[in-house]
Amino acid sequence: MTDFTDAEVERYARHILLKEVGGVGQRKLMDAKVLVVGAGGLGSPAALYLAAAGIGTIGIIDADTVDLSNLQRQIAHTTDRIGMSKVESAAQAIHGINPGVNVVAMNKRFDASNALDIIKDYDIVADGSDNFETRFLINDACYFAEKPLVSAAILRFDGQLGTYKAYAPNEDGGHGPCYRCIFREAPPPGQIPSCAEAGVMGAMCGVMGSLQTTEVLKEIMGIGESLSGSLMVIDGLSTEFRKIKVKADPGCPLCGENPSITDLSSHMDSAGTTCAAAHG
């Protein structure tokens, strides 16, 4: 059933040993297709651990090139790859770890014009974008495409992590929240500083990207307790981890009882072009 080569048995031995994973779980990982939006601070550790875990296909989308200022935290990239597209650099890192992974490197912006077309090819989405416009776009697109979303965010020493699958009914007939149930809409540009403006502790990107990847792997294998319905808030300065219960909001404009968002048109600007970008 699981049908591994000798090299695969050896490579994934420490996974297969876990009774919650085993050969069946490892096979699910090897059959899975994961989309990583952003090849930056979060997308870097996510891509590396997804590759190490043996994910069959990793799609990665980002329009940026590797810059010297990225290397303090974006660990998929290296000094000798400055100037290379981030997705090509990430693809090299992924293949360096695990040549068996199929990488779909998309050197472009993730925006409202391509979101649904890209997402449909994947089983689950990891959001490692660095701006609110993209974050809300991914939430809406994943809801419409009915794909689970594991969304991580980071600023300064603080991290946040959630799993959203509001399209899926719970046993009680309700459903978990989407990102908009908690945050409703993007703050006006400039209200919340970006990492470029406020700074970010590089190692916290590793913490959050690794936790995010753990949740992605759990969702693929269907093991443990889904983070859906909870929000993890992490304060790296005080080393405090808090898990907050979050519920679906019946007034949510996306997944509520009377939704006002029924497609991705609100993510297009008045010229009909898209206004969201993933920088990572």
Alpha carbon distances (Å) from 148 to 85, 133, 198 = 27, 19, 30
Pick one of 161, 252, 261, 278: the residue that binds Zn ion (CB under 5 A): 252
Pick one of 37, 255, 264, 278: the residue that binds Zn ion (CB under 5 A): 255
Q: How far is CA 100 from the centre of its chain?
A: 21
The DSSP call for residue 112 is: T
Pick one of 145, 181, 221, 264: the residue that binds Zn ion (CB under 5 A): 181
- Cβ partners under 8 Å of residue 109, min gap 6: 61, 63, 274, 276, 277, 278
Give me the least distance between CB of 256 and Zn ion, in Å please: 6
Give me the least distance between CB of 105 and Zn ion, in Å please: 31
135 binds Zn ion (CB under 5 A): no
The DSSP call for residue 29 is: H
180 binds Zn ion (CB under 5 A): yes
Which two three-digit tokens encode residue 145?
């495409």
Q: In this chain, which stretch among 46-54, 83-91, 187-195, 254-262 interacts with Zn ion, using CB under 5 A?
A: 254-262
Give me the least distance between CB of 43 and Zn ion, in Å please: 24
Q: In this chain, which stretch among 65-73, 97-105, 176-184, 204-212 interacts with Zn ion, using CB under 5 A?
A: 176-184
CA distance 26 to 7: 13
CA distance 249 to 182: 8
Q: In this chain, which stretch among 1-9, 17-25, 174-182, 265-273 interacts with Zn ion, using CB under 5 A?
A: 174-182
231 binds Zn ion (CB under 5 A): no
CA distance 46 to 44: 5
Which residues contact Zn ion (rule: CB under 5 A)?
A: 178, 180-181, 252, 254-255
